[in-house]
Amino acid sequence: MARIQQSVDIGVPAHVAYNQMTQFEDYPRFMQEVESAQQVDDTHVRWTTRIGQQTRDWNSEIIEQQPDQSIAWRNLDGPVNTGRVDVQALGENGARVTLTLEADAAHAGTEGDHAMAKQVQEDLQRLKQMMEAKGRETGAWRGEVHGGQVSGGGRSAASVATGSDNLSENALSKDTGGPDADGRFNVAEEVNLDQQSDAVRHAGNLPHQSTEGYGDMGSNEAVKNALQGNEGPGAEDKEKLDASIKRAVPPSN
């Protein structure tokens, strides 16, 4: 049995580090050989790894999860028998994350335990860089698991996204750009159209659509009235918006 244990100190509070480690679908962002991790349900994760040209899938079961302390799982198949993450607070704004893996000797690889330990340490360094660059977690689940049984509500009920952008950073795209790309996953650019008003979105479409209902007015006036929420020309504040609308949508020559 090969047992590998590596640690990294990260400049974020312990609860932030723990919250991030509950987001298994983000593990491909820092674990080099992990292609994808799918949270199937509260206690099961489907993994896909690539080692060289070989791709392998397997399933794991979360058996213990204690908020701000530890997460432990056992693999139902695959190259690693068990995994465990421990989080230790280092003051108010620091945390030590320790990753422990146990594997059969046959699954340790031809380079032995040293190569496996080196890989784990590199993975943790990528985790450190990712978290310190962002300064916070991409999501969190504060439920508990004991003996494989969930307490405190399931992920669908209790999972919360933290921070103002409410990122689901599980929507990941493979980094294939450039010769220095290391195969990590990057967060796809998110455009939240829900944050835009319907009036602005509709106004943006008006120059390409019919201005029926607006009489003979030009596109500038149609845009202005759409922003005002009016049905047609003759709004009281029409003149007040002329300058800004003309700057935003210059009249055609």
**87-118 pLDDT tens trace:** 999 999 999 999 999 887 555 555 678 888 99
DSSP state of 116: H
For 251, phi and psi rounded to 5 degrees? -65, 145
| pLDDT tens digits along 164-176 | 333 334 434 334 3
Q: How far apart are CA 87 and CA 93, in angstroms?
A: 13
At 18-51, the pLDDT tens digits run: 999 999 999 999 999 999 999 999 999 999 998 7
Domains and CATH numbers, the chain: 2-182 (3.30.530.20), 193-248 (no CATH)
Token readout for 186 is: 């990057």
- For residues 234 and 163, the model is more confident at 234
pLDDT at 24: 96
Name which residue leads in pLDDT, 233 or 20.
20
Among the ranges given (53-62, 82-91, 202-211), the one the predictor scored with the smallest mean pLDDT: 202-211
CA distance 120 to 37: 17
The predicted model scores a pTM of: 0.62
